[in-house]
Homo-oligomer: A and B are copies of this chain.
Amino acid sequence: MIEAAIDLMRGSGLSGAGINEIVRASGAPKGSVYHHFPAGKQQIVAEALSDYSVRVMSFIDAALASRDSAADKLAALFSAFGRRVEAGSFRRSCAFGAVCLDLDEDLDGLRGLIADAFDDWARLIARHFDLGDARRTRSFAGLVLTAIEGAYVRARAEQSSRPFIEAGSWLGEVVSPAGLRAQTPR
């Protein structure tokens, strides 16, 4: 059921991930839902997001570790995400992004979980870069995360991985040695 929930959330956020849809997609008997997840939908969603976050971190870490220079790391990361959105036929994106934009007032617990995951992801990204000082590096890592989530939105609309590839290239300019030399300290 966790796998079914992840796939449904990647496809259509909370709107597609109702208990009935999750049960149907998983093939599990409906009675087993409340046995395994006594708190219902919010519990399934929370556990699925937690599992998914571990995978995202492993995916990001592997892509960034595959290259040496900062610009190459960014190109590798964004092209890995580009291949990922292609593999999902532009119908799957980040479960966190899709769920986050669907949250209403009664799901504030999930919001905290998403914020914590984004924080983990940004810290992980920051460990692969050194932009002079820790605060600036961390801010840049946040920009990388912003670009990933935004590129998913555009990639799904445009049915193209180009938003990822272009973002990787632009962010590579930011961290390229020429770009770094051009920066004024602040």
**A: which residues have CB within 8 A of B?**
11-16, 91, 93, 96-98, 100-105, 111, 114-115, 118-119, 139-140, 142-143, 145-154, 156-159, 162-163, 166-167, 170, 173-174, 176, 178-179, 181-184
Does the CB pair B104–A11 fall under 8 Å?
yes
Complex CA distance for A183 and B169, rounded to whole angstroms: 12
Determine the main DSSP class of A at the interface with B. Answer: helix
The oligomer's copy count stands at 2
17 contacts between A and B (CB under 8 A): A12-B103, A13-B13, A13-B14, A101-B152, A101-B153, A102-B102, A111-B159, A115-B158, A139-B166, A145-B150, A147-B147, A170-B174, A173-B182, A174-B174, A178-B182, A179-B182, A181-B182
